[in-house]
Every structure is written in C-alpha cells, then in structure tokens.
Amino acid sequence: MSASIIALETIVPETVLQQSDVRDVFAAQPQLSRLAQRLVPATFESAAIDTRHTAIRELSWASTAERPRFFDPATGELRSPGTRERNELYAAEGGAMFVAAARAVCAGIDTARITHVITVSCTGFFAPGPDYLIARELGLRPGVQRYHLGFMGCYASMPALRLAKQLCDADPAALVLVVSVELCTLHVRSSSDPDQIIAASIFSDGAGAALVAADAVDGAGCSLDGFESVVTPVGEADMAWTIGDEGFEMVLSSYVPKIIGEYIESALTPLFSHGASVPDIEHWAIHPGGRSILDRVESSLGLSEAQLVPARETLRDFGNMSSATVLFVLQHILRTARPGERICAMAFGPGLTVESGLMTVN
C-alpha cells in the first residue's frame, strides 16, 4: 500500500489585501520611472487576483502603527526596511503560523504518534527553527526526527511530500507532519524593475500542512503514488531567489511561462512511467505561479477549463504563496474529488525546476 496524505489543512493571516487597493498604492509611489508607471497598473490588473493575505498588519489603510516600517497610511508611502527587520518579523509571525498550521492538521490526532517533522519555507530563516518550534509547542516526543527544506522556492512542498512518502515506505509505523509557511509579502517593495513589479502583483502569505502515513484513511486524503523532478535545459536565469540588503529579491522573467509551455510535456514523461497519462488524470493540482503559467500548462497539455478551476480560484482568492500554494490547490480538489480518481500535482521553481507527483483519491 502506498503512503497517503491522511489530513490536509491550510491557513492564512488575517490581514486581507484587495488587489485594486494594492495596485493603486504601488502606482502612486513617486520614485517610479515612466515605464513603471504604465507597467504597474497593467501587471496588477492582468494577474487574475482579487484578494491576497499578508502577515504585515500595517499594510492597511486602517493601520494605527505609531512608527510604520512597511507602509504609512497617512502619506501612502511604501517603505523599505532592511533584511534584518524583515526577517525578525518572519521569525515572529512565521513561527506562529508554523505552529498554528501544525495544530490545525493534527486536530484529533495523538501527536505522540508523530515520528517525523518536515518544515518548508524560502521567505526567512531562524534557528532553532520552525521544526523545533512545532515539536516544542505540540509536545512531540523528544526523539522526533526533524528536517527543514529551506530556500528551494515555490516547488518545495513537492519534495517535502516525496520525502514523507519515502519515510513511510521505509517504516510502516511512521507518521510524518509536513508544514509549509511562506511570508512572501515581507519582501515586496516598490521598484521600477519589471521583475519586482511582477512579484509585487502576485505574491502573498499562507501556510499548508499535511499528515502522511503508510496506511490510508478511507474517504480522506489521497495516496502518494510517485514523484519526479526535472530541470529544464533553459531558464536558470529566468527564475531565481537571492538575498539583498532590503529583503529577498525575486527574479521572475516574462519568459517563464513560455519555458514551462515548451518543456512541460517532456518534464512529465518520467512521472507517467508510474502508470498514467494525461487522459487518465481527472484532476490537476498545478501551482499557480501566475495566470500566464496556468494558461500555458492548460494549452500545452490540452486540459479542460474545469481542470484548471482549482488552480485559478486559488490564485484569485489567495495569490501566489510560494511553496504553500500547491497544498491549497490540492485541498480544493480533495473537497469534491471521488475515491479512485487520479491527481497530477506539479509546481515550478528556480532552476527552472518542475516537481510533479501522481496521487489517487482515497
């Protein structure tokens, strides 16, 4: 029997960003070049996003912060704190979200059974890390094994699930807790750089958590049938994530959708050796890195509009939450999917890397 996701939960911060409001704030920043003044409205409006969430409570016109660090509602000014200040907020808010997501997915579970914790994030660092926080706050046994997949980018929840499957396949008694938390808005800032404008228009904050066990639970979750990882022959410079003096810096070029569209079929060939093909798969849990990426995947694979609904609605309601996003899409699918139906999950990240997995609804 294949290892299975037996529980899956997602959470988001309370502060909601309306896309139209964020667009207007970014477009009004005085330092923008003439080109950027035209790019900002067009980029935000074409993102296919209505709302996003942020862990930065002061990113609101209703903010009453006495010393605003990120946004001053009195002047409409977007500020740009240093990387240290951003990371301190990540440790506080992100740490709390790791614990909250873990508690949510473990509701009704005897946490003494958890043998492994895998945490995922690319938007901040601290040590002892989120894996330690979860083990301490949930009272996990002292010998629980802990792993952190850091700074891998938007695809990282897929190798986390693959590792969880490997652990459960090796030990039928294993119960693996996977938690992804991304606070992408900590690194958003005003800029005339087209890559930074794209990042500001799509990225957001959220968390997803899954429990993986060797034994399936009837009517809950899905089996993890197989995973593959493929690096495309081009695109290394088109998607990247580096650390700067004013936060982490995203490179997300306009060529990424074209690259994904060109190579997605060959990237899935190794995955289909596990026993499936495009016509066999009812559901597609595609990481919505952006509207144009979803458009390219849909057209390249010949998918129906209905098969893209979970990804498009996740993008519309939550934006791109980096590695956590594919867990939101998967949760969307599992709400209505029927036992025995197949799921193909995939996410994209630096490299350009395509991580994919086959699953079957329990």
Cα–Cα distance measured from residue 183 to residue 277, given in angstroms and rounded to the nearest whole number: 35
Mean local confidence (pLDDT), 117-134: 98
The helix/strand count (H/E) of the chain reads as 11, 15
Q: What is the pLDDT of residue 238?
A: 84
Q: What is the pLDDT of residue 1?
A: 64
Taking the mean position of all CA atoms in its chain, how far away is CA 82? 24
**Which amino acid type is present at position 53?**
H
Q: What is the pLDDT of residue 253?
A: 79
Residue 137: both structure tokens together: 């706050």
Q: Compute the mean pLDDT over every residue in the chain, rounded to the nearest whole number.
A: 94
Q: 37: pLDDT confidence band, cut at 50, 70 and 90?
A: very high
Q: Is the pLDDT of residue 46 over 90?
A: yes
Mean local confidence (pLDDT), 168-177: 96
pLDDT per residue over 235-280, tens digit each? 888 888 899 999 998 877 778 999 999 999 999 999 998 888 999 9
Q: What is the pLDDT of residue 362?
A: 94
Please confirm, yes or no, whether 154 is among the known catalytic residues.
Answer: yes
Mean local confidence (pLDDT), 92-115: 97
- 276-280, 304-308, 331-335, 344-348: the lowest-pLDDT one: 276-280
Smallest Cα–Cα separation from 200: which of 151, 254, 255, 249? 249
Between 162 and 61, the higher pLDDT residue? 162
Q: Is the pLDDT of residue 217 over 80?
A: no
Mean local confidence (pLDDT), 168-175: 96
Cα–Cα distance measured from residue 155 to residue 324, given in angstroms and rounded to the nearest whole number: 9
pTM of the model: 0.96
Q: What is the pLDDT of residue 300?
A: 96
125-131 contacts: CB < 8 A, separation 24 or more? 125/87, 125/90, 125/150, 125/151, 126/87, 126/90, 126/91, 126/95, 130/94, 130/95, 130/98, 130/179, 130/181
HEC states along 298-358? HHHHCCCCHHHHHHHHHHHHHCECHHHHHHHHHHHHHCCCCCCCEEEEEEEECCCEEEEEE
Which CATH architecture describes the domain 222-361? 3-Layer(aba) Sandwich (3.40)
Of 154, 168, 222, 344, the catalytic one is 154
Q: What is the pLDDT of residue 60?
A: 82
Mean local confidence (pLDDT), 282-289: 97
Where would I find the beta strands (DSSP E) of the chain?
4-11, 15-18, 51-54, 71-72, 77-78, 116-121, 145-150, 175-183, 205-213, 222-231, 239-244, 247-252, 283-286, 342-349, 353-361
- 59-68, 117-126, 139-148, 151-160: the lowest-pLDDT one: 59-68
In terms of residues, how long is the chain? 362
pLDDT per residue over 73-91, tens digit each? 888 889 999 999 999 999 9
